[in-house]
Amino acid sequence: MAGADERFMAAALRLSRRHLGLTDTNPSVACLIVREDVVVGTAVTAIGGRPHAETQALAEAGARARGATAYVTLEPCAHHGRTPPCCDALIAAGIVRVVVCVTDPDERVFGEGIARMHAAGIEVMTDLLRPEGEKALSAYLSRKRRHRPEVTLKLAVSADGMIGRKGVGQVPITGAIARAQTHRMRAESDAILVGLGTALADDPELTCRLPGLEQRSPLRIVLDRRLDLPLASRLVATAGTVPLIVVAEAPAPDAESAASPAVPEVHAGSALRADPRHDADGFARRRAALEREGAAILLTERHHLHDLLGRLSARGLSSLMVEGGAAIARAFLEADLVDRIALFTGPRSIGEGGIASPCVDGRIDGFAPVGRAVFGPDRYTEYERES
């Protein structure tokens, strides 16, 4: 039975990727209902997070679920939320065996679903293909275990190790095939983040523009301490259709702190810093203008990236793709907040005036290469944080 179990769980894990980035605060979970080696029901967490995979798969299986085995990539929930517990639905449907890939670290579940199914007489097998399941659910697990989103740093680097040229807007580094891969990564992410410098220099939309996946654009986040993002920018112009959060620093409450020396916007894990030009009246006007265009403003008080990620996690965000410039990339790396590096290397050199990348292909301290690919003329290397 072991071979069949692994085959069906592998299929469930592949299915679970279908709705990455689309299930709100819930993870993208898959469930297969199998009877006599035939799949009679299959589902993935619905867009928006409800209904869950188990109830949908059971509905598809109908009466054929009685006496069947359920393969679930994450432990069935055991708490009453907007829907009844999935473990109870499996019990009521007459499932006789449940195979679970990963135990849910959510404190409302955390083995309770497994215990209740055991108590009902269901045979439960756990941890099947767990390493693969941990990878598939890595973003959700990061939010639950570390209370922050999983961070992927995406970089496009020239042959001479540059990510751009000083005083110039966006410089093409990779080709169309690699750019399409970037858009696919955006489609699977909950949010994408850049700094104000990138927003001003490149005027990006940060949306997914692959045919058929346009509706899978992630939440956009801009680190902009003074709210200087232009109303005419593409990010603001599209805020009514694709959500935009501008992360700012509240103006200093008194003249003494307002007159404190200015320091760089980003360094050593700090996202936002005090600025003597940061006047309250101008800030209020800029905030009101951005909010009228549909942007949401998130004020920070502690000014640390750790704090920012904690607040994003509290909003239910599990995965964050960082595409910002060199300063933002270095800040996340120095704060030890990068879990994965997606490094695209183009064949052309930028030369004089280039902006050095914080990462180049080869050995990256603290990270190990886990995959390589070729996209047209461009090379791709994926790194993961070493244990």
Q: What is the pLDDT of residue 65?
A: 97
Please tell me which residue in 6, 36, 54, 291 is annotated as part of the active site: 54
Residue 109's nearest CA partner among 80, 73, 68, 151 is 80
Amino acid at 37: D
Domain residue extents for the chain:
2-136, 142-385
Q: Tell me the mean pLDDT in the region 155-181.
A: 90
Q: Tell me the mean pLDDT in the region 72-89.
A: 87
Contact 229, 196 (CB under 8 A): yes
Decide if pLDDT at 257 tops 70.
no
Contact 326, 165 (CB under 8 A): no
Q: What is the pLDDT of residue 264?
A: 36
Contact 193, 324 (CB under 8 A): yes
Decide if pLDDT at 293 tops 80.
yes
In CATH terms, is domain 2-136 a member of 3.40.140.10? yes
Decide if pLDDT at 34 tops 80.
yes
60-64, 120-124, 321-325: which has the minimum mean pLDDT? 321-325
20-29, 266-275, 359-368: which has the minimum mean pLDDT? 266-275
Paired residues of 152 in beta bridges: 321, 340
* pLDDT tens column, 308-320: 999 999 999 999 9
In CATH terms, is domain 142-385 a member of 3.40.30.10? no
* pLDDT tens column, 192-205: 999 999 999 899 99
Residue 123, both tokens: 């045979």
Decide if pLDDT at 93 tops 80.
yes
Helices marked H in the chain — which ranges?
A: 2-16, 53-61, 86-92, 112-119, 130-136, 138-146, 176-187, 196-202, 234-237, 255-258, 280-292, 305-314, 326-334
**Which residue's structure tokens are 């640390």?**
304
Residue 54 is among the residues annotated as catalytic for this protein:
yes
d(CA 155, CA 161): 11
